[in-house]
Amino acid sequence: MALAKAALRGLGLGSGPRALLRLLSLLLAVQGDRGTEEYLKREYSLTKPYQGLGASSSGSHWELLGNAMVTTQFVRLTPDLQSRQGAIWNRIPCALRDWELQVHFKIHGQGKKNLNGDGLGIWYTRDRMQAGPVFGSADQFSGLGVFVDTYPNEEKQHESKKRRYSPTTQRIFPYLSAMVGNGSISYDHTRDGRPNEIGGCSAHVRNLNHDTFIVIRYLRRRLTVMIDIDGKNEWRDCIDVPGVRLPLRYYFGASSATGDLTDNHDIVSLKLYQLMEEGEHLPGEGDGEEEEVLTPSVDNFDPHEDALPEPMSGLALFAVMLMCLVGAVIAVVIGIISYQKWQEQSRKRFY
């Protein structure tokens, strides 16, 4: 043990449990799937004890917005109170081509199921520190948004009109989805982002006693989102979309909002890893074969148009019923006439 402590001091890491953590962080060139190596990038990561975050003359790489506040255990984007917005944004534009963002978060509150809201957004966008209606951040964003939506706005509207989605199109909330915006596309909050969703899955993340995680991986223009929310330390697939084109030098952030319905939305950590496939050149050593992306887009993506048809008005419904009734009467009359003719022909055969 004394030899281990001496070795840690020799590396300038001090001693004790924290020194061991620092040593582990230095060894985070982890061999991943399919020969992919992951390197933790501290300048884009947010971890405890959040040193300097929230100070007026902050030396932190992160900045708070709105009602967000920092504690010793988490960054609370919004408290369990009505009409709150909060966000946290990284100050440094990301120059990594391939990356993975691991999000440790918690959503909890006093509201009962489907009486809570509104959710949180994880961002990689051109603009930062802009409050707005999309889970506390600006609409018509340029970049990627991954949303944990805890309130089914569209479903509730359909229920009030006594309409329902079919089992193949209905979504179970809380719901995780992703959207790529080009700066001119609006997030349709009344439809819970359905028209421009590139993928999603149900994610029951509220009021759990164990840790909940999302991992967002962007590798070779393929976007993969997985969740670990069951307390089993196992990733579960949620979104896998090829042909996603995201520019460099965008900003990472997280935001949240409450309205009439509320929840606590907490970020425990945001850890960004640089991804490098086996044999890949270090940054600056490549031959520049990939052209630079200027506008975010998704290959072969068409907005969804699967809204439920509007119910017919009373006059239209009456007209349809009247036509059906007239058609039924005509069918009965034709049937009676045909039967009478058949009877006449039958009698003639006997005489």
pLDDT tens per residue across span 37-61: 899 999 999 999 998 898 765 678 9
**Cα Dmax for the chain:** 124
Residue numbers in the chain where pLDDT is lower than 70? 1-35, 56-58, 158-169, 279-289, 304-314, 316-318, 342, 346-351
Alpha-carbon distance 177 to 156, whole Å? 18
pLDDT at position 280 is 63
pTM for the full model? 0.77
For helices 17-26 and 2-10, give the axis angle rounded to 10 degrees: 60
pLDDT at position 269 is 98
pLDDT at position 336 is 85
Alpha-carbon distance 252 to 125, whole Å? 7
- Using DSSP, state whether 123 is helix, strand or coil: strand
Tokens representing residue 158 in the block: 């359909």
Q: Domain extents for the chain?
A: 42-277+293-298
- Using DSSP, state whether 44 is helix, strand or coil: helix
Beta bridge partners of 105: 212, 267
pLDDT at position 29 is 40
pLDDT at position 108 is 97
Peptide bond just before 139 cis, omega within 30 deg: no
Nearest alpha carbon to residue 145 among 82, 188, 109, 106 = 188
pLDDT at position 340 is 78
User: For residue 74, what are the contacts with CB-CB under 8 A and spacing of at least 6?
Assistant: 106, 266, 267, 268
Nearest alpha carbon to residue 274 among 29, 26, 61, 38 = 38
DSSP 34: G
pLDDT tens per residue across span 164-196: 555 556 789 999 999 999 999 999 999 999 999
Tell which CATH architecture fits domain 42-277+293-298: Sandwich (2.60)
